[in-house]
Amino acid sequence: MIKFFLMVNKQGQTRLSKYYEHVDINKRTLLETEVIKSCLSRSNEQCSFIEYKDFKLIYRQYAALFIVVGVNDTESELDIMFNLDKVHIILDEMVLNGCIVETNRARILAPLLILDKMSES
């Protein structure tokens, strides 16, 4: 199951974090630092999987942003940042309780589109 979803930039700053299992706030920072450290230490020739403690990190680099998913047994950086809430809402549609629950793009976006329309009007 998915333990957390992270977006971290190359400087090691967390851009988005979502935990599907409660982690203490002070432990989160530590964890994220270590996660991004292990991601940064890897080259393109190395695989996208990192064994980290008792779970596994799967990462992908997107421009300067690392998207990291922590599992136990699977746009531009600033855009994500400025729409923190929206990204979360999208993510909530896709992942719940560590499970990928929706991958149909139209359906993922539907609730957000409604909200967007409402805030405009």
Partner 1 sequence: MSDIVEKTLTALPGLFLQNQPGGGPAAAKASFSSRLGSLVRGITALTSKHEEEKLIQQELSSLKATVSAPTTTLKMMKECMVRLIYCEMLGYDASFGYIHAIKLAQQGNLLEKRVGYLAVSLFLHESHELLLLLVNTVVKDLQSTNLVEVCMALTVVSQIFPCEMIPAVLPLIEDKLQHSKEIVRRKAVLALYKFHLIAPNQVQHIHIKFRKALCDRDVGVMAASLHIYLRMIKENSSGYKDLTGSFVTILKQVVGGKLPVEFNYHSVPAPWLQIQLLRILGLLGKDDQRTSELMYDVLDESLRRAELNHNVTYAILFECVHTVYSIYPKSELLEKAAKCIGKFVLSPKINLKYLGLKALTYVIQQDPTLALQHQMTIIECLDHPDPIIKRETLELLYRITNAQNITVIVQKMLEYLHQSKEEYVIVNLVGKIAELAEKYAPDNAWFIQTMNAVFSVGGDVMHPDIPNNFLRLLAEGFDDETEDQQLRLYAVQSYLTLLDMENVFYPQRFLQVMSWVDASLSFLDGFVAEGLSQGAAPYKPPHQRQEEKLSQEKVLNFEPYGLSFSSSGFTGRQSPAGISLGSDVSGNSAETGLKETNSLKLEGIKKLWGKEGYLPKKESKTGDESGALPVPQESIMENVDQAITKKDQSQVLTQSKEEKEKQLLASSLFVGLGSESTINLLGKADTVSHKFRRKSKVKEAKSGETTSTHNMTCSSFSSLSNVAYEDDYYSNTLHDTGDKELKKFSLTSELLDSESLTELPLVEKFSYCSLSTPSLFANNNMEIFHPPQSTAASVAKESSLASSFLEETTEYIHSNAMEVCNNETISVSSYKIWKDDCLLMVWSVTNKSGLELKSADLEIFPAENFKVTEQPGCCLPVMEAESTKSFQYSVQIEKPFTEGNLTGFISYHMMDTHSAQLEFSVNLSLLDFIRPLKISSDDFGKLWLSFANDVKQNVKMSESQAALPSALKTLQQKLRLHIIEIIGNEGLLACQLLPSIPCLLHCRVHADVLALWFRSSCSTLPDYLLYQCQKVMEGS
Among 72, 85, 90, 109, binds partner 1 (CB under 8 A): 85
Nearest approach in angstroms of CB 10 to partner 1 is 11
Cβ neighbours of 3 (radius 10 Å): 18
Binding-site size, partner 1 (CB under 8 A): 51
Q: Which of residues 45-74 bind partner 1 (CB under 8 A)?
A: 45-54, 74
Which alpha helices (DSSP H) does 1-121 contain, by range?
Answer: 25-40, 77-82, 84-94, 105-120
Q: Per-residue b/e over 35-57, b at no fewer than 16 CB within 10 Å?
A: bbeebeeeeeeeeeebeeeebbb
Build a one-symbol-per-residue string for 2-41: x at contacts with partner 1 by CB under 8 A, - elsewhere.
Answer: -------x-x-xx-xxx---x--xx-xx--x---------
Q: How far apart are the first and last CA of the chain?
A: 39
Among 63, 76, 79, 101, binds partner 1 (CB under 8 A): 101
- Is 104 one of the binding residues for partner 1 (CB under 8 A)? yes
Under 8 Å CB-to-CB from 107, ≥6 apart: which residues?
93
Nearest to 39 by CA among 49, 29, 30, 31: 49
- Contact residues toward partner 1 (CB under 8 A) are 9, 11, 13-14, 16-18, 22, 25-26, 28-29, 32, 42, 45-54, 74, 78, 81-82, 84-85, 88-89, 92-93, 96-97, 99-107, 110-111, 114-115, 118-119
